[in-house]
Amino acid sequence: MRMNDMILMSVDDHTVEPPNLFDDFIPKKFADRAPRVVSDETSEKWIFGKGEARNAGLNAVAGRPPEEYGLEPATFAEIRRGCYDVHERVKDMSANGVLASLCFPTMPRFCGQFFGSRADQDPELALAVVRAYNDWHLDYWVGSYPDRFIPLTIPPVWDPHLMAEEIHRTAAKGSHAVSFSMNPYGLGLPSLHTDHWDPFWAACQDTETVVTMHIGSGKIDVVTSPDAPINVEITCSAIKLYPTAADLVWSPIFQKFKNLKIALAEGGIGWIPYFLERADYVYKRHHAWTRPNLGGRLPSEIFLEHVITCFVVDDFGANNIDRLNEDMVTWECDYPHSDSTWPESPELVADAMRNLTDAQINKVTHENTMRLFAFDPYSIRPRERCTVGALRKEAEGHDISTVSHGVKEGRGRSLAHFTHELAETKSTG
């Protein structure tokens, strides 16, 4: 397939929320208590009650030289406008040849736990903030360009019944994806092996909503030693979803909810063939004494039927797609994070998929995404205007050059340094 004829849809990108997010979407009775942006001497941060959230530099490096990547807090003046301005985002997408994007949150954290930090003290406020965020995302961010964005819901994660209500409410507005934790137990919540989440799973199944679990959405850390280079953490990031995959196939979730789909965002796919082999070996070797109830299926069969896989750059995985369910494999760009392929995604995708058939390329780049997330841009935009070549032609003249903002010496040398910087940027509450 010619690169310019490809149609690219990314199931994993990110918004950096603008300061005026809540202005038009929070009910007036909560306006003075809604999250807000304040400035200090070094950064801008969101404040919600006693909690705060800063924009970590690695979360918004699009357009910056690689030597300036880091975790120190970033201000809006230091990051590319496409990170937080929807109109500039669409231009950046077109320049990258990407038709559509599913955008995960930044400030609320992946499953809205920043908002949930207020649920014990003021549950009415916490729920209002979650709903206002979803309305902003669906009505403004997605609503401004419904042919370019795949809707995503964040849940009121502290209450599975409220989660179910929000799933039904946002599904009625066109959202068929929800961001959830890859390890809720690590967030102080019940595990995936309990029935606590059943109302949530049921609502997702009823509305054909995909549950997306992104790396970093639960506390599964791979830390070998404080003085290990930061490259150790980055190298191990994708396989953090290996334990999540194991949780899923050995949990009762898919025995109860036989039509539920769960996506592993930014997990890569190259490790999955071995994972499936290992899980089946564990079943055959140990089931006589561990006595799992898998409904007569092997773990690999459960995974391949229910779990959507996602990758940014994974040559090995792409070239071994026959070991996966090619109808459940999707592509992601990860804009504006440090692993992102922007602005040369088409070139990298074409190279990674050079040995795939045209039919397989179409599935991975867009057809699976359209089917699984109930997304149909062709009802708005003719297919011939959706290709890499057509989009890049529309974006001719859009500036994608790198811009320097200066670099700090000694940045990111070890995991201890990384942890210190991360502590300064993570949400508290």
How high is the pLDDT of residue 55? 77
According to DSSP, the residues that pair with 103 across neighbouring strands are 13
pLDDT band at 238 (very low <50, low <70, confident <90, very high): confident
pTM over 0.85: yes
**Does residue 411 carry a pLDDT above 60?**
no
Please, is 177 exposed, middle or buried when counting C-beta atoms within 10 Å of its C-beta (0-12, 13-18, 19+)? buried
Cα-Cα-Cα-Cα torsion 297, 300, 304, 308, nearest 10 degrees, comes to: 120
b/e per residue, 351-380, with b = 16+ CB within 10 A? ebbeebeeebbbbbbbbbbbebbbbebeee
Q: What is the pLDDT of residues 305-327, one digit of tens each?
A: 999 999 999 999 999 999 999 99
Looking at the predicted structure, is the pLDDT value of residue 429 above 50?
no
What is the CATH number assigned to the segment(s) 3-425? 3.20.20.140
* 219 pLDDT tier (thresholds 50, 70, 90): confident
Amino acid at 321: I
Distance in Å from the first CA to the final CA of the chain: 50
Rounded mean pLDDT, 1-27: 98
pLDDT, tens digit (0-9, with 9 covering 90-100), for 116-170: 999 999 999 999 999 999 999 999 999 999 999 999 999 999 999 999 999 999 9
| Residue-level pLDDT at 412 | 53
Q: What confidence tier does 427 reach under pLDDT thresholds 50, 70, 90?
A: very low
Mean pLDDT in residue range 381-406: 96
**Which tens digit of pLDDT belongs to each residue from 350-376?**
999 999 999 999 999 999 999 999 999
State the SS3 of the chain.
CCHHHCCEEEEEEECCCCCCCCCCCCCHHHHHHCCEEEECCCCEEEEECCEEEECEHHHCCCCCCHHHCCCCECCHHHCCHHHCCHHHHHHHHHHCCEEEEEEECCCCCCCCHHHHCCCCCCHHHHHHHHHHHHHHHHHHHHHHCCCCEECCECCCCCCHHHHHHHHHHHHCCCCCEEEECCCHHHHCCCCCCCCCCHHHHHHHHHCCCEEEEECCCCCCCCCCCCCCCHHHHHHHCHHHHHHHHHHHHHCCHHHHCCCCCEEEECCCCCCHHHHHHHHHHHHHHHHHHHCCCCCCCCHHHHHHHHEEEEECCCHHHHCCHHHCCHHHEEECCCCCCCCCCCCCHHHHHHHHCCCCCHHHHHHHHHHHHHHHCCCCHHHCCCHHHCCHHHHHHHCCCCCCCCCCCCCCCCCCCCHHHHHHHHHHHCCCC
In the chain, where the domains are located: 3-425
Top-confidence residue, 416 or 107: 107
Average pLDDT value over all residues in the chain: 93
Residue 49: pLDDT above 80? yes
Q: What is residue 377's predicted lDDT score, i.e. its pLDDT? A: 99
